[in-house]
Structure 1
Amino acid sequence: MSLIVCLFVLGSHMSFASDALWVTADTSYHLRASELGGHIWVPLSELSRAWEAGLEWDFATMRVTLTSDGHRMEFVPEDPFFVVDGRIHHLPVPPRMLKGELYLPLDLLLPYVPFVRGKLKWKKGEVNILGVSIEERANGTLIVVRTLEPLRAEAALASGWLHLTLYRGRLDTTAMGSLRPKGAVREVRAYQYSHSAQISFRLKPGVSEYRIYPSPDPKKVVVLLWRRPKKPRKQEMWAYRTVVIDPGHGGRDEGAVGPTGLKEKDVVLDIALRLAKLLREELGMQVVLTRTEDVFVPLQERARIAVNGGGQLFVSLHCNSSKNPKVAGVETYFLSDAKTEDAREVAKRENASLRFEEVIPSLKEDNFTLKDILTDMLSDQFLKESQKLAACIQEELVRGLGLEDRGVKQAGFYVMLGTEAAMPSVLVELGFISNRREERLLKTSAFRRRAALALFRGIRNFKEQQERAIALQGGR
């Protein structure tokens, strides 16, 4: 079935009109639609009629089910998670109840609908800039402009304002002007010209760097703002004084669970506390722990703790898991694009902690972009150091634990998205808890002590190598 959605702009507030159409090869349906926050909201009852899909409410659980052509979609009001044919997905904004009806952000939902295919088209002359999001990150402010079609963008920084021009862009200046500033942005203004649109951001003092990044999604313009870091004093350039240890998971997020019930969250916390003690007593380092007890800490908050705590190294501790119980060994990761399917699976599993977060950023929408941005920023900063740190730790783990060497790898871990632009960062997988032999080892105090010692030696070796190299450079 070939389908096209024609949706006309309805203003910046939740107002409705009958000039939205759902067009099929045979007929068209008038839909009530509204534009709010840059998204197109349509009542689910209207979509059910247009899609000729069954609609069923379970008022006990407040779950609504949409069925068609053997497919099944399930939604819960105010819950960003929804189910398509048994698979869980996430919307950046949740479905909303209004006057007894459930409204869905159709522009975000369409890619997941299995029984229809369509695309958004707007009446010529109406807006093609759907909305702007501003997100404060640990190391900068991320601006994402969503558009209906690819638009060429240019930016200029002058007198404390960042002026973003989108050629052929058309926008609702009133809606843009009401955008709430965040992070480095103090004020937003929008201007419509004959052949372009301009969005201007008044910046807080000290913001001197910006970059427009090519997005994998051509309907997004991504800009990152950040402050140029102060040049460290010579004696600070080589002294790694503060390390952040991140015991993965915790609280309601148990992480991986072994065949006999051993929980990843308990193993890594014990090893982290042992490692912290060694670093403090043997090297005199300051140690910041993202958690010291069995509590849940959101992934983005872990990165914030690391940066705000003055971290100069970041080490996240985990236990690996596999559907194949024979898989075994240790491996260490640094942040970059995953190069193998195994690396992608590990990243997917560790990033699954996001499902426990009460407020989840737009990971599917924007954080793939953030990963690209941070990795790009790292090319001249901490990416090489992260790789070296990973190598030092991996070498000592293999030597100290006697487990299979699975090597140094790279993948996109959400917990490192806010740290990699500020410090060398790695994620360590301390054996496979899904492997019965390695689960038995992970249970023992002796193995945990050896793991902490191996991690300590890896960090010490990296610290000494880097400080010697930088000291030699400074002495030239």
Structure 2
Amino acid sequence: SSFFHENGWFYLTVAGGLADTTEIRRSDTRGVIRTIAADQLGKTAQLAFQMRSKVQSHEVYQNKDPGEIVITLRTPMDNSVARIKKVKDRWRLDTVVLDAGHGGKDPGTTGRKGTKEKDIALDIVKRVGLLLEKNTKLKVIYTREEDVWTPLWKRTKMANEANGKVFVSVHLNSNPNRTAYGFETYLLRPGKTEDAIEVASRENEAIKLEDRSKNKYQDLSGGNLIMA
């Protein structure tokens, strides 16, 4: 026979059973079971299991092997498991924000023949966005879809309001070395090298084009300032 007591202990009585009480008390407990105790009362063995958490239901049955008794305990979803699921759902990759750097009155860098960074960045963003929309189920948000000036704080606001999980800002760097080619990827964090600090400083120069009477950056620093 078996039953749960309101004190959180589960009791199992085995008539005609013989329990090695010393060995049982040494058992390694884990999961829902906190402690195991055992007593031998004449020809009856009694086992007691202290639970770590609430048990919704249980089953006890004897397996085909006559010397084996199986106890099944069903518990509610653990709070930590529920929290993990909630966080996973929150950060599920379902929305991507594509940010074409500069725009409007801010041309960004300018090539030798007058090519403007803002135009190439917008073209790249549109091409990438089209590929994502055609080949994935991702929701794509654009901080700008034409040649307009969008303040840095507004770009961040758009991304947050859309609940964007990934924010990709496209820029084209100038370089005094004409043999330089390829691409660079910067992750959001305060600059750790002189080159990274220089790039972040150069990109944040766009703040100077905004209305100084509405300073939205005075309390920001480090990674928060990079995202503006």
Q: TM-score by structure 1 length? A: 0.29
Residue of structure 2 equivalent to 1:19: none
The AA in structure 1 aligned to 2:204 is N
Give 1:249 shift.
0.4
Aligned with 1:267 (options 120, 145, 151): 120
Give 1:266 shift.
0.4
Give 1:357 shift.
1.0
The AA in structure 2 aligned to 1:305 is M
Q: 1:348 to 1:323 in 2, by over 3 A?
A: farther
Matches within 5 A, 1:36-75: none
Aligned with 1:303 (options 156, 159, 167): 156
1:398-422 Cα deviation digits (max 9, x unpaired): xxxxxxxxxxxxxxx63x24xxxxx
Aligned with 1:348 (options 201, 208, 217): 201
- Report which structure shows greater RCO (CA 8 Å, sep ≥6): 2
Matches within 5 A, 1:192-231: none
Residue of structure 2 equivalent to 1:292: 145
Residue of structure 1 equivalent to 2:190: 337
The AA in structure 2 aligned to 1:367 is L
Matches within 5 A, 1:319-334: 319-334=172-187
Asked if 1 retains the 8 angstrom alpha-carbon contact of 2:92 and 2:165, the reply is no
Matches within 5 A, 1:10-21: none
Residue of structure 1 equivalent to 2:33: none
Point out where structure 1 has 5 or more consecutive residues left out of the alignment: 1-229, 375-412, 418-476
Give 1:362 shift.
6.1
Q: Secondary structure at the match of 1:320?
A: coil
Give 1:299 shift.
0.2
Q: 1:288 to 1:362 in 2, by over 3 A?
A: closer
Root-mean-square deviation (CA, aligned residues, Å) is: 2.4
- Give 1 or 2 for the bigger CA radius of gyration: 2
The AA in structure 2 aligned to 1:239 is R
1:41-100 Cα deviation digits (max 9, x unpaired): xxxxxxxxxxxxxxxxxxxxxxxxxxxxxxxxxxxxxxxxxxxxxxxxxxxxxxxxxxxx
Q: 1:311 to 1:232 in 2, by over 3 A?
A: farther
1:244-282 Cα deviation digits (max 9, x unpaired): 000000000000111111111000101111111111110
Q: 1:320 to 1:270 in 2, by over 3 A?
A: same
Q: 1:239 to 1:285 in 2, by over 3 A?
A: same
- Give the aligned length: 145
Matches within 5 A, 1:174-253: 233=86, 236-237=89-90, 239-253=92-106
Matches within 5 A, 1:77-96: none
Q: 1:316 to 1:258 in 2, by over 3 A?
A: same
Q: Secondary structure at the match of 1:319?
A: coil
Distance 1:272 1:262 in 2: 17
1:4-52 Cα deviation digits (max 9, x unpaired): xxxxxxxxxxxxxxxxxxxxxxxxxxxxxxxxxxxxxxxxxxxxxxxxx
Aligned with 2:219 (options 358, 366, 369): 366
Distance 2:85 2:161 in 1: 17
Q: 1:232 to 1:309 in 2, by over 3 A?
A: farther
Give 1:231 shift.
7.5
Aligned with 1:318 (options 171, 174, 196): 171
Q: TM-score by structure 2 length? A: 0.57
Distance 1:361 1:281 in 2: 39
Distance 1:274 1:323 in 2: 28
The AA in structure 1 aligned to 2:163 is G
Q: 1:282 to 1:357 in 2, by over 3 A?
A: same
Asked if 1 retains the 8 angstrom alpha-carbon contact of 2:100 and 2:171, the reply is yes
Identity %, equivalent residues: 41
Distance 2:138 2:170 in 1: 18
1:88-115 Cα deviation digits (max 9, x unpaired): xxxxxxxxxxxxxxxxxxxxxxxxxxxx
Q: 1:331 to 1:307 in 2, by over 3 A?
A: same
- Is 1:280 aligned to residue 133 of structure 2? yes
Distance 2:216 2:149 in 1: 20
Q: 1:351 to 1:233 in 2, by over 3 A?
A: same
Q: Secondary structure at the match of 1:300?
A: helix
Give 1:236 shift.
2.3
The AA in structure 1 aligned to 2:133 is R
Give 1:306 shift.
0.2
Distance 1:347 1:337 in 2: 9
